Amino acid sequence: MTAGPAQPDPHGPARPESQLPFSSSPQPLTFRASDLPSHASAPPQVPSRPTVRRRGTLLATAFGSVAASLARLTAVALFVITFLVQPTQIPSSSMEPTLLVGDLLLVNKQVFAPAGHWRWLLPYRTPHDGSLVVFHYPVDPNQLLVKRVVAVAGDRIHLQNNVLYRNGAPQNEPWSQYVPAGRSPYRDRFPNLQEADPSAEATWWIELRSSIRAGELPVPPGRYFAMGDNRNDSLDSRYWGFVRPDAIVGEPLLTYLSIAHEPGDRPHLRRDRFGKVIR
C-alpha cells in the first residue's frame, strides 16, 4: 500500500526551533559590559537646604527668645528704678552709725508719695519723727541727702547737752551719736543766735531769727526738721532749714552693696552689710 501524497500543513511549513518566537526551554540571558549604562562616581553628600534652613530657624528662635527675655528684664528694671526704687550712695559720715560712707542704698520711692488711686496696692504714709528720708538738698536740688526726721509740723524742738528735746520732753534716740568735737554753741544749743556759724545758710539765719519762740524752734505746717544721726558731724536742718514734702524722694530700704575706703588701705567690700535693712 502506497502512501498518498503528503497533505499540506494548514499552519504553514514548519520552522526550525531556533526560529520559534518562544522556546520550549528558557535560554540564559547574557549581558556585556558595553550593554550597561555608564554612571559617574557619586558626588559627596552635602546637607540639603531644608536641613540648613531648619538649623537657622532654630537659632533665630533661640536668639529671639533670649532677646525677648532681656527686653522684659530691661523693662522691669526701668519700671522699678523709675517708679519704685532708686540706687543712692552715701558720701559722708553724717549718718553714722546707721549708714556708713560707701554704702549703696535702694530707696523706696513710693512710701512717701501721694497715694492717688494706688493706696490699695502700695503702703503709702507720711514721714514721722524717727523716719529716715532721702530728699533734694534745699541749697542744691541736684544733690540728694539722707537724714532722719526729728520733728514734724506743730512740734517744738531744741538741743541741750547732747540731748534733743521735743515739745519739752527729752527724746530717747538710740541711733544718734555725739562724737567729741570742737565747741559750737550754735550747733550744741540749737536754736542759738548768740554766735553765728559759717556753715549756716544766710537766708536760713535770717528766717531763724524770726522763728524762735521761748528758746525753741516751732516746725511750721507742711515742713519737717531733719538731722543726721552723727549729730556733731552733720550739716542738717540746723544749717539750711526745713524740708519740704515735695523735696522728699523716698525712704532708704536696704544696702545692696558697701565699699569701705579706709585711709591707707585698699577699698574692700563690707560683706556683713549686703542686704542690710535700714532702720
Which residues does the annotation mark as catalytic?
A: 94, 147
Compute the distance between CA of residue 50 and CA of residue 73 in angstroms, rounded to an integer.
35
Contacts for 113-121 with beta carbons within 8 Å, 24 or more apart?
A: 113/250
Report H helices in the chain: 49-79, 185-188, 202-209, 237-240
Compute the distance between CA of residue 52 and CA of residue 40 in angstroms, rounded to an integer.
27
**C-beta of residue 177 within 8 angstroms of C-beta of residue 97:** yes
DSSP secondary structure, 163-181, as one string = EEEETTEE---TT-B----
Angstrom CA distances, 249 to 138, 158, 275, stand at 13, 27, 21
Task: Tell me: cis bond preceding 97? Omega within 30 of 0 counts.
Answer: yes
Compute the distance between CA of residue 250 and CA of residue 126 in angstroms, rounded to an integer.
10
